[in-house]
Amino acid sequence: MFKKIKDSLVNNNPVFSLFLGLCSALAISSSLDNALGMGVGVIVVLFMSNTVISLIRKITPDEIRIPVYIVIIAALTKSLDLMMAAYTPMLHSSLGTFIQLIAVNCIILGRAESFASKNGVFASMKDALTIGLGFTVSLVLISVTREFLSTGGLILSNPFTGLQVVQLGLPEALASDLSITLFRAPAGAFFTFALFAALFAFIGDDKRKQKGVSK
């Protein structure tokens, strides 16, 4: 399990190494609240879809398996959308249509086709949790970098009440002088993603070189 988590976080990170789910990763990562909300949402849908698809994999005809997977994922995404609208309205409003776009997130359909449809329930659950964790960590890294550089601080709110729980950062006068508003804009998301993608590629190359030397 630990090896699989490490693999999804570093070696085969879904965002920085495999370049999957970039739409939501770049669009909603301007704040830590949004990143955590989207990350948890993807984990929930991925976990439930992997579980259901693994359970029905032996009775699903190959000819219609993709439409079946899409219906399951869309139904779970809509259920999540309604739950968030009811219990976390401020977060739901902040994420907007990107919650519904979880249904077309290539990570979820990709894991359904490549893993859940070929493996048992518990293995599919673990796969969903590790891949979802890798996606969430990627969002958090991007959002923390962007929010801190653009505002000089970080704010974490309660998703149910909208009240601030944690606020960290530079003194207000210093933050206003050092903040870089570019990172609040879409271009800032691309710059941040590129930096982390390069870092993860460097780490991966370095590990491969070390393995080559050890052999």
**DSSP labels for the chain?**
-HHHHHIIIIIT-TTTTS--SHHHHHHSTTSHHHHHHHHHHHHHHHHHHHHHHHHTTTTS-GGGHHHHHHHHHHHHHHHHHHHHHHH-HHHHHHHGGGTGGGGG-HHHHHHIIIIITTS-HHHHHHHHHHHHHHHHHHHHHHHHHHHHHHHSEEEEE-TTT--EEEEEES-HHHHHHH--GGGGSHHHHHHHHHHHHHHHHHHHHHHHHHHHHH-
207 lies in some domain: no
Instruction: Count Cβ neighbours within 10 Å for each residue of 8-37 and write b for 16 or more, e otherwise.
Output: bbbebbbbbbbebbbebbbbbbbbbbbbbb
Q: What is the domain range of residue 140?
A: 2-171+178-202
pLDDT at 212 over 60: no
Question: Per-residue pLDDT tens for 24-54?
Answer: 888 888 889 999 999 999 999 999 999 999 9
Which residues have C-beta within 8 Å of that of residue 194, sequence separation ≥ 6? none
Task: Read off the pTM.
Answer: 0.88
Say if residue 211's pLDDT is above 90.
Answer: no
pLDDT of 175 reads: 67
Q: What is the mean pLDDT of the chain?
A: 87
Task: Count the Cβ atoms, other than its own, within 10 Å of residue 198.
Answer: 11
With respect to residue 211, please indicate whether it lies within any of the assigned structural domains: no
In the predicted structure, residue 213 carries a pLDDT above the cut 60: no
Q: Is the dihedral of CA 185, 101, 18, 144 positive or negative?
A: positive
Structural domain contains residue 57 = yes
pLDDT tens figures, 167-179: 777 676 666 767 8
Q: Considering the domain boundaries, does residue 124 fall inside one? A: yes
Q: Is residue 58 part of a domain?
A: yes
Specify if 24 maps to a domain: yes
Q: How many angstroms separate the CA atoms of 197 and 176, rounded?
A: 28
**Do the beta carbons of residue 110 and residue 127 sit within 8 Å?**
no
Give residue 173's pLDDT: 63
pLDDT given for residue 81 in this prediction: 94
Q: Which residue has the higher pLDDT, 201 or 1?
A: 201
Residues in a beta bridge with 166: 156
| 208: in domain | no
Q: What is the pLDDT of residues 79-114, one digit of tens each?
A: 999 999 999 998 898 888 889 889 888 899 999 999
Highest mean pLDDT among 94-108, 129-143, 146-160: 129-143
pLDDT of residue 45: 96
Question: Structure tokens of 118?
Answer: 């070929």
53-80, pLDDT tens digit by residue?
999 999 999 999 999 999 999 999 999 9
- First vs last C-alpha separation in the chain: 25
Look at residue 107 and tell me if it is in a domain.
Answer: yes
Number of domains present in the structure of the chain: 1
Q: Facing residues of 153 across strands? A: 169
Residue 131's pLDDT is 93
